[in-house]
Structure 1
Amino acid sequence: MKHTSHWRRLELKFRSRGRPPGTPSRSRPLVAGCPGIINAHVHRATRGRVAQPSGHAGAGHCRPHVLKGITAACWWLPQPSQGVSTMDSEDEFYDTVFNEVLESSCSDDEDDLYVAAAHIVAEANDKQPYRVSIDEHRVLNRDRQSGHSKLFQDYFSDDPTYGTNYFRRRFRMRRHVFVRIMNTVEEHDDYFMQKRNAAGTLGLSCLQKVVAAFRMIAYGVAADATDDYVRIGESTALESLRRFVIVVVQVFGPEYMRLPNEQDTARLLAIGESRGFPGMLGSIDCMHWTWKNCPVSWHGMYRRHKKEPTIILEAVASKDLWIWHAFFGMPGSHNDINVLQRSPIFARLAEGDGPQVNYSINGNDYTMGYYLVDGIYPSWATFVKTIPEPQGNKKKYFAKAQEACRKDVERAFGVL
């Protein structure tokens, strides 16, 4: 073979390439259909010194001699899972490349092409990602059962550590309401059912997952803030919150997130009449919801009289705190009138499809309901406002009654 020094340098270069210590064996069989990629790598490795033979059919196919070098490189990679015999060491691989693949009848350019192809395949396989054990990874033994037992004893046992007042303040609802929601969620989505894993260990209970979701909703805490008490991981807490919200919307949405039907309208009118306001459908108002993570560039649009940016919620609530209308998303720089002009609350009424209302006041019959509002709202026929600076007992009594009933929506905002 000519140019001995040239091949000696190539041999030393190849033999200096060792497998990294601790590298696990991996299987990468030769994949058909990639000769175009191989040709590109070979052309780059040989700097274009090896040309395609005359009469070659198609520029996308590599030479047969290149495939021999590639095959040798691929056989050097261990493939125990496929039952293919492998070379015992990299020395055997290099001996095969130099003694068997490189034929004496081939030219120097062709031999150079063999070695370049084998070198490219070996280099590409060394760069492939492989799975190794992570020493830093720790499996936490959270002792989920003790977490469930402590949570149950604190709030849900017959003699709980924290009574009903603590429960209502910390969960923002009564215990029977919480239990009803939890049971409904568990029946609707089997993700909340307590199961055993492959090792037979009990997983998280429905109580732990729902409590974690409620804590994040009620207090806006991070996902891992409940880990030390509820014994639930961050990813599991986020997944529980996502599924919890979906189930609540699917199950309770048709009942609570809808417009009043005929029965609801009759009930609202009866409540209003018992309080001295026949024809009243509820009280309407707006509240500003603080947006903690508002982008700094949006502060000018979402900030008005308050220092922090807010989002406006318009709602209509009844005496029993049923919010049957909610319009959310307007920037905090707007006022109640701007929000009302964009709100869909009177869209049905404008189309002649409003609730059917019939009542009589002082001998006059009316067919359109109304809402109790504060002084900023316009003087429309559907709004009843208080009397500013009332004079006389009659006007004072009306102003006092109107302002008291109008607080229904304020109470609803306080619950939120």
Structure 2
Amino acid sequence: MSDRHTQDWDPRAESVLNDQIAAYDEMRSRCPVAFSDYLQWSLFRHADVMCVLEDHETFSNAASRHLSVPNAMDPPEHTRFRRIIEPYFGPEAMAAFAPQCRAIAESVVGRLPADGEVEAMTEMGQDFALEIQCAFMGWPTSLHEPLRAWVKRQQAATLAGDREALGELALEFDGVIRELLASRCDAGDAAPDDVTTRIMNETVEGRALTDEEIVSILRNWTVGELGTISASIGILMRYLAANSELQERLRADRCLLPAAIDEILRLDAPLMSNRRITTCPVEIGGRRLEAGERLTILWGSANRDEAVFGDPDELRLDRDSKDNLLYGAGIHVCPGAPLARMELQDFMDALLDATTDIEPVPGRPAVRALYPAGGYSEVPLHVHR
């Protein structure tokens, strides 16, 4: 591929990794559809990203080398699996999980010091993501620490580009899920009536799901949730600490929380990118792509596009949410968005209830995460309760 295309940028350059957001802002005006060996074709503008999201026939989601249900599927196969998955995040399912979600948020926030420092990513974000995801899936609390260790090793392997280690980690994670499935099979009618058991009993086109399909669904839900929810908590806590006026406003009027959460995560993305692959020759953003070319949708850039949002760093609580691509758009819009929104609102509500002030720690700025992660790897804060 690289012998046919000129390198427009280097996503792994130190200047880019040190501040992905600033680098993407610059690329959006300089070279909005850019080629690199690492990410192939990267899309920086909102309009170009929307073009891809709305044309799933030209821009296929089947860009994964492994079975990924339904993330890496196109219609009609994608449609059949989405029909199974969506009720798990519907109004009835969310209402049933709401009391447990609120209780976990309050429990995690309750561990904050009375008056002292906290590292928001590990002590708040990761704890909350692990506990809330295991609770939603019906998994035992004994999995919290093994999953935490697994996430840490996966992040290290991803940063190192170690495909062999990533393959081994994927097999290890699948093994954990298969053990959970086997225990439910052994229990028969006595198996717990939870999300994992119900997924096992689903059918598609009149047939039972295969073990591989079940594992893929549960893997996608869990791995995606652990990464994005923990990143979101770090971003939200850092932003409030750095913006005392908004913090005071939200303490006084909690009705503003949903809009504030979506806006903060628009301007500082917890999920940086997704992939697509072209099915035929196409022109986008003035660049000609052949069939079979790989694209990287950069949410962290598209959601800051000046053509749509004006000043990308301006937080507006009255902004029309339809342009916000926090949860994607089109047929592949995130089915778990209702759950994520409930989790984040419950956490932030509990945080504001339990504290009187959140501040940055002088001399210890937050440390940015490196691609493909969004947000931060460290967020040191001082809390007052």
Structure showing the higher helix proportion among its residues: 2
Fold shared, TM-score > 0.5 on shorter chain: no
**Structure (1 or 2) with the larger CA radius of gyration:** 1
Higher relative contact order (CA 8 A, sep 6+): 2
